[in-house]
Structures are given as C-alpha cells and as structure tokens.
Amino acid sequence: MRRAHGRTATTRIALISAGTAAVLGLGGFSAGAAAAAGTPTPDRTAEPTAAAPAAVGQQVLSTFTVAYPAAPYRTHNIARAVELINGAVVEQGDIWSFNQAVGERTVENGFVDGIMINDGRYVKSPGGGVSAVATTMYNAMFFAGLKPVEHGAHSFYIERYPEGREATVAWGTLDLRWQNDSGHPVTVRASSTANSVTVTLLGTKQYDEIRATKGPRTHVTPPVKRTVTGPTCEPQTPLEGFDVSVDRVFVRGGHEVGRETFRTHYTPRDEIVCAPESPTATPGATAPTTGATQATPAAPGSSAAPSTSASPSASAFPSASGDASPSAS
C-alpha cells in the first residue's frame, strides 16, 4: 500500500444523516435573533488558562479562528466547550475526541438551549452553538497536519464556514476525533469571545507548510419552499445543495510530499416558512435528508477517485440512515 507523507494511504468514509449533521449558529438568520431574544443567559467568554503549560520548545503547529454573530446562547455554549477543551495535552499516538472532552451538552454540564438542525431544518435544542468549536478544532487539526479519525460535515452548508472544511458533532452518534501522529505531544489552546472562537495547537512541526485547495461546486441542487407549523418551527433562508472537494497539501523543503482529498456532500437548505398553528392543523412533517463526507487520501501526483465502500479503517464512522436521528450540535 502506498504511503503519503509518512502515513499509510487508506480510504476513510463518513456518512451521516441530517439528524446527526446539525448546525449551531445561524449566521445572521432570523432564527438566530429569535433564539437570542428568548434565551436570557449572561454574556460569557473563555480565555486560555495556565492549567497545562506548553512543553518547552513547542511550536505553533496551527491556529484557526471562526467568527459568528453574537447571541447569548451561542456565546455561552461555545465558552463552556472552550473551557472543557483548553489545556489538553494529547500524547503521541493518542486520539483526541470532542465528545469525550466536552461531554454531553446538558444543563447539568453547563449548556443552554440553542438552535440546531434536525431533519433538514432549524429547531431549538440543548447545546446549540458548539459545532463552531468543532469546526475550529477541525481546521486547527487540518493545518497542523494531524490525522483525522472521525468527522462529519453539517447536512447543509453554513456560509460562514469554509466549504468542505467544517465539522459538527452529536452526542452518542457523531464525534470529531483526530490522532496525534506527529511523533511528539500536542497541546490544545482554546479561547472565545462574544463572536469568535480560536483554537491553537502546539507541538513539533513536521511540515514547512500545509495548504488547502478547493475545487468548484458540482452536482448543484436547488432548495424548495416548505411551510411548517408548531412551536419548534424556526424560519430558514434557502441555499442550494452541492458537492465540493478540498485537497490538503503537505509541503516540506519546498516540495509537495503528500496530498489528501476530502469530498463533502451538502443537501439543499430548504426555505422554511412558519405558519400559525390552527386547531385543525397538523404539524408539518419533514422528510429526512442526508449529508455525507468522504476523505480519500492520495499519494502525491495521483488523482483520488470517489470510493463506493469503506475500508476497515472507516468502521468508526456512523452509517447513513433515512430515519430521524437525535439532533447534533
């Protein structure tokens, strides 16, 4: 089997249902304003602590920041997740897990209700907002050159995130996990403000540069308009669905030494109009949609073709399902 940048080249496939591919934060949508108005939580920020100082001589492997519109629930939940991941030290060969580090997003664990996606539309649910932290960590891992083990994209695209370079999480069904295959310990530094979250990974550099190159949108699918009733309805603006590929390019000594291709499928984000519920009305039912992400490492100079089945190394990923799954955050 060929090796890319010192790592055995395998195929990793993640297939997730829309119920487990959730969104936090609404990028200025009316649903975000409604959630903020209905969630009187205090403003909260999280700054790096000195709980686990970086080892002497550690370098910045990567740092990544995601910005988002401020909303009380979002600021609170992101700050709580940051508190739980900041200062972690991941030893060589160990796997870092978002769900293990952050725990279940419950009131008892310090989280409040927010907005997520379930069955292709926004709904109110506990812990909304934390996938901004997952997306930030995913990009920090990406540009640090570490090995992705499990991740899944949101079911439909959220404009403030990089296309094909984002992640969501769902307790018990979908995790964000990466392995420290750098040969040295990696330290996690995380902080947040009312409208941004930053993750920095410290360790020993293996590459001079890691670049991301994105291809064009393909298989574009238009959204539809749906009318929904019921107390959990949130208005939703339409956006097309599409497929996109992102290459991660590893550079050492001025030369490309490895390349991985990640393919992401986004379903359309249908327009949702909330209608008053009449005494005879039946709450609108929505059909489940499915989002999927594939990661296909390729040797330098080769063209990676989409895979139709998962290799044994993909067993950690949840399989696709047409059934409604618990909301992700």
Mean pLDDT of the region 20-37: 29
Q: Which of 17-21, 145-149, 167-171, 224-228 has the lowest mean pLDDT?
A: 17-21
- Per-residue model confidence as pLDDT tens digits over 125-184: 666 789 999 999 999 999 999 999 999 999 999 999 999 999 999 999 999 999 999 999
- Asked whether the predicted pLDDT for residue 261 surpasses 90, the reply is yes
- Per-residue model confidence as pLDDT tens digits over 38-90: 323 334 445 444 344 556 679 999 999 999 999 999 999 999 999 999 999 99
User: What's the CA angle centered on 269, arms 265 and 270, to 5 degrees?
Assistant: 140
Question: Integer distance in angstroms from the first to the last C-alpha of the chain?
Answer: 37
Beta strands per DSSP E along the chain: 3-4, 7-8, 12-17, 59-67, 89-90, 95-97, 113-118, 121-126, 147-150, 177-179, 186-192, 196-203, 209-214, 218-221, 225-228, 241-252, 255-266, 271-274, 290-298
- Per-residue model confidence as pLDDT tens digits over 73-86: 999 999 999 999 99
